[in-house]
Amino acid sequence: MTTPGGAPSAALRTAALEQLLVERGLVDPRMVDAFIANYETNVGPLNGAKVVARAWTDPDYRGRLLAEGTAAIKELGFGGAQGEHIVVVENTPTTHNVVVCTLCSCYPWPVLGLPPSWYKDPAYRARMVREPRTVLAEMGLELGDDVQITVRDSTSEVRWLVLPERPAGTEHLSEAELVPLITRDAMVGVAKVAAP
């Protein structure tokens, strides 16, 4: 497996690197498997979706989440590395927040899992700051000129999580019914949550 330029694919390079680390006794393959399984099943966008759904259905929790994101997220049992200080901002019909990390790929792992490849892409990181409306449109999110866009820059000190707008027509849905609607992209601010 190679890329169009002839370089080995990311999957092939990753497998080769893991094999070298295991062969040299630097990494236990069971630890690698456990780490991957943890981020696939216990940590990830599903956690963030649970946080958002709770905020949509519980006004008191929503207030705590917007006032002190990290503590409110911990109320639901989510926390850990890369989630030591999470600030939550709310999207409204007139204000849209979008998250980027201009330095590297700082990301709130406990609630969103591992960052997607586009989030780490230098073009996304640079262009989102300069021309957010254009980049969002290219990603499929058209916002009216009356919507103010604020770009939030995640750092090693603070990670951002977007509380997306609750879609119209979902008022009758329970917290559990809302969770599957909420995507990672909506919690980064590059998409909106669609009604079912």
Q: How far apart are the first and last CA of the chain?
A: 38
Q: Is 106 annotated as a binding residue?
A: yes
Structure-token pair, residue 64: 């705590």
Is there a contact between 188 and 98 (Cβ–Cβ < 8 Å)?
A: yes
> Taken in order 161, 166, 167, 172, is the CA torsion positive or negative?
positive
Residue 86 · residue 161 · CB < 8 Å: yes
**Could you confirm whether 154 is annotated as catalytic?**
no
Check if 106 is active-site. Answer: yes
Burial of 97 (0-12, 13-18, 19+ CB in 10 A): buried
Verify whether residue 174 is a known catalytic residue: no
* Distance separating alpha carbons of residues 196 and 110, to the nearest angstrom: 26
Residue pair 153/36 in contact (Cβ under 8 Å)? The answer is no
Of 9, 104, 117, 174, which one is the catalytic site residue?
A: 104
Report the binding-site residues for Fe(3+). 101, 104-106
Residue numbers annotated as active site: 101, 104-106
Report the binding-site residues. 101, 104-106
